Amino acid sequence: MRLIIGNKNYSSWSLRPWLAMKVAGLDFDEQVIPLYESDTKEKLLEYSPVGTVPVLKDGDLTISDSFAILEYLGEKYPDARLLPVNIADRAKLRSICCEMHSGFFPMRGTLHMNMRKNITIKLPEDVIANVERIKDVWRNCREEYASKGPFLFGHFTIADAMYAPVVSRFKTYGISLDGACEEYSRTMLNLPEMKAWYLDAIKETWIIKEAEIE
Ligand SMILES: N[C@@H](CCC(=O)N[C@@H](CS)C(=O)NCC(=O)O)C(=O)O
């Protein structure tokens, strides 16, 4: 398999399948395409007509979109337990994954993923509302699944992959966390695979000005 991704410092959608594939111990090549350069679109279109990253190539199959890739991996590698076994848990997982995938626009538009940065900014009301809702999601999951392990559904699943960039954004922008949310954030940041992505991100030299809040 080959996973085509964007800059590790900035590409939140790319982090999601990469992290899940690494945690699941899957064998794959990765290819980074630096985003928002003059030839980026042309390069992206070589891999998928959608023209965005991430893209997963598995033999003749091309899968675009982070969530579609995660779902595919969950189905293809059941032993990796990227999806919960229980149908009700799967439904709950999909509900919070879709909420992430199709929502939180104020948070996504203001708190760009930027792993090199540590900065405190005054948050607008709509971003605060998103942050509070995300904390609720994490708290509710941790309350329900705490006895099964430290991740949202106990063991690591695609839900943790979906929220991994949020963990990083909260760290970058100094969002204060306590209790279950602080523990969850620590669990995610201490994942060896997350640390490996951070190390690669920090080494990158590309700068995307729009994602660099001063
Ligand atoms: N909903 C898509 C979003 C993908 C996306 O917007 N990726 C960004 C990078 S994080 C991208 O490829 N931007 C380049 C462009 O739009 O030209 C997914 O989940 O994969």
> Of 49, 79, 109, which residue is a domain's last?
79
CA of 147 to the centre of ligand 1 (A): 35
Do residue 30 and residue 136 come from a single domain?
Answer: no
110 and 65 share one domain: no
pLDDT of residue 213: 77
* Residue whose CA lies nearest to ligand 1 atom number 6: 52
Q: Which domain holds residue 56?
A: 2-79
Largest CA distance in the chain: 50
Share of the chain above pLDDT 90, in %: 96
Per-residue model confidence (pLDDT) at position 211: 84
Residues 144 and 188 in one domain: yes
Atom in ligand 1 nearest the alpha carbon of residue 54: 20
117 and 74 inside one domain: no
pLDDT at residue 214, as a whole number: 72
CATH number, position 98: 1.20.1050.10
Distance (Å) from CA 68 to ligand 1 centroid: 13
Ligand 1 atom closest to residue 10's alpha carbon, by position in its atom list? 10
Q: 75 with 102, same domain?
A: no
Phi-psi region of 36 (alpha: psi -120 to 50; beta: other; left: phi over 0): left
pLDDT of 84 reads: 97
pTM: 0.97
183 and 116 fall within a common domain: yes
Q: Which of 38, 53, 79 is the last residue of a domain?
A: 79
Cβ 107 vs Cβ 131: under 8 Å:
yes
Given a cut of 50, the residues of the chain with pLDDT beneath it are none
Q: Is residue 207 part of a domain?
A: no
User: Whose alpha carbon is nearest atom 11 of ligand 1?
Assistant: 52
For 6, 30, 114, the CA distances from 27, given in Å and listed in that order, are 19, 10, 27
- 4, 13, 102, best to mutate for ligand 1 pocket (most atoms within 8 Å of CB): 13
16 C-alpha to center of ligand 1: Å? 12
Give the Cα separation of 102 and 62 in Å (integer): 22
Residue 186 to residue 190: CA distance in whole angstroms: 6
Asked whether residue 208 is domain-assigned, the answer is no
In a domain, 179, yes or no: yes
For ligand 1, atom 14, the nearest C-alpha belongs to 52
CA distances from 140 to 116, 151, 187, 198 (A): 30, 12, 16, 27
- Domain CATH for 19: 3.40.30.10
List pocket residues of ligand 1, CB cut-off 6 Å. Answer: 6, 11-14, 35, 41, 51-54, 65-67
Provide the pLDDT for residue 210: 84
CA of 113 to the centre of ligand 1 (A): 13
Q: How far is ligand 1, taken at its centre, from the CA of residue 52, in Å?
A: 4
C-beta neighbour count of 211 within 10 angstroms? 18
Identify the pLDDT of residue 103: 97
Task: Tell me how many domains the chain contains.
Answer: 2
Q: Which amino acid is at 184?
A: Y
**Separation of CA 8 and ligand 1 centre (Å):** 13
